[in-house]
Chain A
Amino acid sequence: MSMFGQVYVKDNQYKIKGDFHHLTPNQPIRDADGWKLLGVTNPRDMTYIHSYGGEAVFFESLSQGKLMATRCDNPKCEAQGTIYQPFRIHCMDCLRKCTVIDMTDLAQKTAKIHTFMVCERSGAFSILDKPIKFINVEFDGVATILMGYLSLGDPKIGMSVVPIFKRTSPTYTILDLSWVPSGTPEKRLPEGFSY
């Protein structure tokens, strides 16, 4: 009986349990005319072990209903006071460690769609429903424009949106953050999500 690969960390060392790959037999590739051998298939199903490093707090916070950003507080930096979202561990100018700030409130009050795209297709391993409504969200006082997805309604440039968080059964990925039009009643939010 196979078991999903699981990982925890003890004394800053990865400890792993379960299966990190699944074996599927390969097959020959033949020419339909003449049955000549042209190649083989190479099946591959493997689980990776990935560290979030200094961004871990961002992803953990999503599961707690908080949108964290960072700000350069280096008085000697030209970019002092710049708020970064996406969260940047280090300021892109002075490379000093940024201060982690909670910008949930700012996002609730000022988030607007900068641009968007409704995409009918997705790639393998995508778990989002199609069509995917990609949105790029701008905030007052934030230097950058965050990419995300709109869970309800139709996107329009300039539209006000608010963040929602997957607090029930979080995935601990960027998918735990989504957006809905301002004023959407909480009971309409997708399963597992809340304000």
Chain B
Amino acid sequence: MITFSEQQLKVPKLARPVYLVTAGQSKFDRGFPDKRTEELCIDALTQAAELLNMTPAELKSYIHTCYYGHFADHFGDQLLGEAVIHDRLGLDPLGNIGVKTGGATGGSTLWEAMKTVASGYSDCVLAMGWERMDEVPTDEGNFLISCAADKDWESPLGHIYTGYYAVMAQKYWQVFGKEEESFRRTLAEIAVKHRGYARFNPYAQGPMKITVEDVLKSPVVAYPLRALDCCLMSVGAACAIICDEDTALKLTRNTKNKPLRIWVAAGSHTLRPADRRDMAIPLLPNETADQYKDLEERFPGGGRYPGFTGFLGARMAAWYGYRMAGITDPTEDLDVIELHDAFTISDVQTYEDIGIRPYGEGRTYVESGDCYHTNPHTGKPGKLPSNLSGGLIGCMHAVGATGIMQTFEIATHLWGRWAEVHGDEKIWKSFNRKKPSDWTDLQVKGANRALAISHAGVGSHVTATILMDPDHLLKADA
């Protein structure tokens, strides 16, 4: 049983307000035989400048330090790839640093960027993330990914990361899913939803118009997970510009981008799930200890927390983040979210880790229809839509860029620019992609607050990025 000290549970406090002013991203795809990584990064930065009606050179003149998220050096076969990109972006001699936290790299990059502005060190920073995963074939790629597990205790076991992750999915499937066919269908619904939303996103790599039956008929990867339950492997880049208040106002004057308050909080847990010890569930503001008293009775085998079914890192990122930003009930307080749907089952688990639903009941959020842009049961707007970008399953998982892509997506809703950024024919054409005839505007109307969860592998690092319209804060001194 482990406990945390009062000092460790201090609610983080920024020394001054921090703002996201713009963001951008490249096209995402499985491979780019015709483009170097720097070309994708320049595409992302150019878009960020264009959203402010600026040239890249004008935007660059405000940047003071740079944070580069890039997870897997060995995929791109280039150490200090950050220095290469920094040079190609023409940002020398500014200070810069690389960030790597597995699947959470994008979120962690924003975490560093936010702290730099909050501290006063910089007034305007660049957070840029990318990944290059097309330099080796799939088997070799699986080997390289397995190197993110413990090299002596896990990686030799098949050199296949899916295996280390999927044991956790299996436990969840049996304990909380009770191996029910209906739960299996709920997971399939997530795959249909995310691939379907990706159809309206020109940047997305994996758009598909499919049915629950298609998912259930796709090949088994690691039972109960099938091919269509799994996220994509991608190449691409995404960036965000983070500022103090004065710079934010200057940069956004006469633009459609309203500066958005940003908070990023982080949590972690053992790299090897094997090292997890039992503990009491850290409670979010909308939970009580009482509600978990009978968890073991309701879900035999589920009483061991976090066991192999919960992600303590995600829970703690939300624990710190909600308190920082004044969120007391995420479903009520937030308007749109992007979650790290590495697998369909991860989506369900995250609803629990971040308190959208209590532990054990994540599936009910999907079944309620409130995770959709338009609730399929009621035809009304979903209460808190998730992964309208298509997520990792439908849009991309270019590891170092993922958490920044999610943040770009939720920001476009808060700026009211979703349709412009995703619907413009010119963008579809420039990516050599066809805009579907049934393209639908997924703008969440009146969205003021949003959240993105960036998550590494089995939960070693997780960040929660919260954005708010400064006129709709939940806490005056946040």
A39: B residues at CB distance < 8 A: 33
Q: Mark B78-111, 1 if CB is under 8 A from A, else 0.
A: 0000000000000000000000000000000000
Assess whether B140 is interfacial by the CB under 8 Å rule: yes
B222 touches A118 (CB 8 A): yes
A7: B residues at CB distance < 8 A: none
Q: Mark B253-286, 1 if CB is under 8 A from A, else 0.
A: 0000000000000000000111111100000000
Assess whether B367 is interfacial by the CB under 8 Å rule: no
How close is B346's CB to chain A, nearest CB, in angstroms?
15
Given A39-B33, A126-B158: A119 and B166 interface contact (C-beta under 8 Å): yes
B77 touches A42 (CB 8 A): yes
B158 touches A147 (CB 8 A): no
B273 touches A124 (CB 8 A): no
A122 touches B274 (CB 8 A): no
Closest to B161 in A: A123
Closest to B74 in A: A44
B277 touches A119 (CB 8 A): no
B156 touches A173 (CB 8 A): yes
Cross-interface CB contact of B153 among A134, A145, A147, cutoff 8 Å: A147
The stretch of B142-150, B184-192, B194-202, B411-419 that contacts the partner chain: B142-150
Assess whether B28 is interfacial by the CB under 8 Å rule: no
Given A42-B77, A117-B170, A147-B167: A128 and B33 interface contact (C-beta under 8 Å): no
Closest to A128 in B: B158
A134 touches B159 (CB 8 A): no
Assess whether B221 is interfacial by the CB under 8 Å rule: yes
Cross-interface CB contact of A134 among B144, B157, B174, cutoff 8 Å: B157
A147 touches B156 (CB 8 A): no
Closest to B77 in A: A42
Interface of chain A residues 107 through 163 with chain B (CB within 8 A): 114-126, 128, 132, 134-136, 143-149, 157
Interface of chain A residues 70 through 87 with chain B (CB within 8 A): 78, 82, 84-86
How close is B197's CB to chain A, nearest CB, in angstroms?
28
How close is A8's CB to chain B, nearest CB, in angstroms?
20
A115 touches B168 (CB 8 A): yes
A124: B residues at CB distance < 8 A: 139-140, 142-143, 159
A78 CA / B33 CA spacing, docked (Å): 55
B163 touches A132 (CB 8 A): yes
B383: A residues at CB distance < 8 A: none
A143 CA / B156 CA spacing, docked (Å): 23
A120: B residues at CB distance < 8 A: 220-222
Given A92-B275, A119-B163: A147 and B157 interface contact (C-beta under 8 Å): yes
Closest to A145 in B: B274
B146 touches A123 (CB 8 A): yes
A136 touches B33 (CB 8 A): no
A100 CA / B277 CA spacing, docked (Å): 19
Assess whether A175 is interfacial by the CB under 8 Å rule: yes
The contact sample of 15 A-B pairs, CB cut-off 8 A, is A31-B33, A117-B163, A117-B167, A119-B160, A119-B163, A122-B158, A123-B146, A124-B139, A126-B158, A132-B157, A134-B167, A136-B274, A144-B275, A147-B273, A175-B156
- Other A-B pairs beyond A52-B152, A115-B167, 11, CB < 8 Å: A29-B33, A117-B163, A117-B167, A119-B166, A123-B142, A123-B145, A132-B160, A144-B275, A145-B308, A147-B153, A174-B157
